[in-house]
Amino acid sequence: MMPPGLSERVDLTKASILKLQVYGLNIDVLRLDRIHPVISGNKWFKLKYYLQEAKRLGRPGLASFGGAYSNHLLATACACMQEGLKCVAIVRGEEPRSYSPTLRALQEYNIQLRFVSREAYRNKTELKETYSKEFGDYYWVNEGGQGEEGVNGAGEILRLLPSQAEYSYLICASGTGTMAAGIAKAMLPPQKLISVPVLKIMDRGQNELRDYIKRYAEEKSVEFWYDAHEGGYAKKTDRLVRFMAGFYDRYQIPTDFVYTGKLFMALMEKAEQGYFENDSKILAIHSGGLQGNDSLSIQEKSMLGWFR
Ligand SMILES: *Cc1c(COP(=O)(O)O)cnc(C)c1O
């Protein structure tokens, strides 16, 4: 059997814009989830220039890091296979007895998979040294594609819009903040960016994510909605899964529980609370990641309309 997504090429023409009318607001949803089943959403944009660089430099492939459910590792592996590059995936944590759907897919791609303890995982410099000795001169990509190439690629998301200037707000979910940084860099003043962190962040005044994104933006042009994490990274609540089910039933937009479910739940709540000025035009970036839902329980999946 062909591993998931390998036979299909990324198709940017599938990135449709869905227009919603919500509480008197115009919300356009940019469906990046539709461009590819695995290299979905922002991942293709973030990887684009790393793939080009690796080829230009004649490297054997890309090497990168991520957790056992990492959309980034999966997208990297699939993109490498398609581009004729090799791939090394360094996975956080000991090798589990039973593989997550993401790990199974990585295994099917037949790439080099290495598990490292959580402690060893923290020291990326050492990991790069160790595995460069084993595999050779791979091109290393930071976790989540973080870095200048990733930011520049992510900024190109906005080129898909017929008229970028019509939006007063651009909103997206954030993990490493690479996508948000790219959007911040490419947006046009007086546009505002709202980053919705999907991890629990303690110090709201000063934290890594905020500092990273703010490097690319004018002082007052970025806001952060810190209360959308539902318990933390990859944590979920019944409320979230019920929201995802209702959102699909209403708008036929599937979401994932790690990123876009939290993004849209926060957006709908803020819209209802009157957060936005009346004539605001909002662009919500659906950054993909739907394969992450494979790890939901059977009961949870049965609640989601598109799994039925
Ligand atoms: C990886 C991912 C993100 C996070 O992107 P960052 O650039 O790390 O902030 C957001 N949404 C989805 C669906 C993702 O897979």
CA of 133 to the centre of ligand 1 (A): 30
Q: Does residue 1 carry a pLDDT above 60?
A: no
**Residue closest to 30 by CA, chosen among 22, 39, 40:** 40
DSSP string, 44-107: HHHHHHHHHHHHHTT-SEEEEEE-TT-HHHHHHHHHHHHHT-EEEEEEESSPPSS--HHHHHHH
Atom of ligand 1 nearest to the CA of 173: 10
Query: What's the predicted TM-score (pTM) here?
Result: 0.96
CA of 121 to the centre of ligand 1 (A): 20
Q: Which of 32, 259, 290, 295 to mutate to test the pocket of ligand 1 (most atoms within 8 A of CB)?
A: 259
What's the CA gap between 59 and 138, in Å, rounded?
6
Query: CA dihedral in degrees (250, 254, 259, 260; nearest 10)?
Result: -40
CA of 179 to the centre of ligand 1 (A): 7
Q: pLDDT tens-digit profile of 250-300?
A: 999 999 999 999 999 999 999 999 999 988 999 999 999 999 999 999 999
* Residue with CA nearest ligand 1 atom 4: 175
Judging by beta carbons within 10 Å of its beta carbon (0-12, 13-18, 19+), is residue 262 exposed, middle or buried? buried
Q: pLDDT tens-digit profile of 199-231?
A: 999 999 999 999 999 999 987 799 999 999 999
Percent of the chain's residues with pLDDT above 70:
99
Strands 25-31 and 17-22: antiparallel
